[in-house]
Amino acid sequence: MQSSAYIVNTSRGEVVDEEALADLLAQRHIAGAGLDVYSAEPKIPSALRDLPNVVLLPHIGSATIEGRFRSVIIFS
Protein backbone atom coordinates (compact mmCIF):
# COMPACT_ATOMS: atom_id res chain seq x y z
CA MET A 1 0.00 0.00 0.00
CA GLN A 2 1.10 3.54 -0.62
CA SER A 3 1.76 5.87 2.31
CA SER A 4 -1.34 7.87 1.32
CA ALA A 5 -3.62 4.80 1.58
CA TYR A 6 -6.40 4.30 4.10
CA ILE A 7 -7.56 0.84 5.10
CA VAL A 8 -11.22 0.28 5.96
CA ASN A 9 -12.41 -2.97 7.50
CA THR A 10 -16.13 -3.54 7.94
CA SER A 11 -16.10 -7.27 7.24
CA ARG A 12 -14.45 -9.40 9.97
CA GLY A 13 -11.87 -8.48 12.56
CA GLU A 14 -9.63 -11.39 11.67
CA VAL A 15 -9.13 -10.00 8.15
CA VAL A 16 -6.66 -7.42 9.50
CA ASP A 17 -3.61 -8.14 11.65
CA GLU A 18 -4.31 -5.40 14.20
CA GLU A 19 -0.81 -5.42 15.68
CA ALA A 20 0.83 -5.03 12.26
CA LEU A 21 -1.72 -2.35 11.33
CA ALA A 22 -0.95 -0.36 14.48
CA ASP A 23 2.77 -0.51 13.68
CA LEU A 24 2.22 0.63 10.08
CA LEU A 25 -0.01 3.49 11.21
CA ALA A 26 2.37 4.61 13.97
CA GLN A 27 5.27 4.66 11.51
CA ARG A 28 3.11 6.47 8.91
CA HIS A 29 3.63 3.74 6.31
CA ILE A 30 -0.10 4.15 5.61
CA ALA A 31 -2.16 7.27 6.22
CA GLY A 32 -5.01 5.94 8.32
CA ALA A 33 -7.60 3.33 9.13
CA GLY A 34 -11.32 3.08 9.72
CA LEU A 35 -12.49 0.00 11.62
CA ASP A 36 -15.84 -1.19 12.91
CA VAL A 37 -14.88 -4.83 13.52
CA TYR A 38 -12.11 -6.19 15.72
CA SER A 39 -10.53 -9.60 16.22
CA ALA A 40 -11.35 -9.75 19.96
CA GLU A 41 -14.45 -7.60 20.38
CA PRO A 42 -15.14 -5.77 22.59
CA LYS A 43 -11.41 -5.50 23.34
CA ILE A 44 -9.69 -3.06 21.02
CA PRO A 45 -5.89 -2.94 21.26
CA SER A 46 -4.67 0.21 22.97
CA ALA A 47 -2.14 0.63 20.17
CA LEU A 48 -5.08 1.32 17.83
CA ARG A 49 -7.12 3.33 20.33
CA ASP A 50 -4.28 5.76 20.96
CA LEU A 51 -3.47 6.63 17.35
CA PRO A 52 -4.77 9.93 15.93
CA ASN A 53 -5.06 8.51 12.39
CA VAL A 54 -7.57 5.77 13.28
CA VAL A 55 -11.36 5.99 13.40
CA LEU A 56 -12.97 3.26 15.53
CA LEU A 57 -16.68 2.57 15.48
CA PRO A 58 -18.91 -0.12 16.96
CA HIS A 59 -20.02 -2.75 14.46
CA ILE A 60 -23.49 -1.53 13.53
CA GLY A 61 -24.12 -3.42 10.32
CA SER A 62 -27.32 -4.95 11.66
CA ALA A 63 -28.61 -1.73 13.21
CA THR A 64 -31.58 -1.32 10.90
CA ILE A 65 -35.26 -1.66 11.65
CA GLU A 66 -35.41 -4.77 9.49
CA GLY A 67 -32.33 -6.29 11.11
CA ARG A 68 -33.61 -5.72 14.63
CA PHE A 69 -37.04 -7.06 13.73
CA ARG A 70 -35.53 -10.25 12.28
CA SER A 71 -33.37 -10.70 15.38
CA VAL A 72 -36.45 -10.57 17.59
CA ILE A 73 -38.24 -13.13 15.44
CA ILE A 74 -35.26 -15.50 15.20
CA PHE A 75 -34.25 -15.34 18.87
CA SER A 76 -37.76 -15.34 20.36
Whether residue 41 lies in the annotated active site: yes
Report the DSSP beta bridge partners of residue 14: none
In the set 19, 41, 49, 70, the catalytic residue is: 41
Q: How far apart are CA 11 and CA 59, in angstroms?
A: 9
Phi first, then psi, for residue 71 (nearest 5°) are -60, -40
Q: How far apart are CA 73 and CA 66, in angstroms?
A: 11
Whether residue 12 lies in the annotated active site: yes
Whether residue 29 lies in the annotated active site: no
Q: How far apart are CA 57 and CA 65, in angstroms?
A: 19
In the set 12, 28, 29, 68, the catalytic residue is: 12
Which of the residues are catalytic?
12, 41, 59
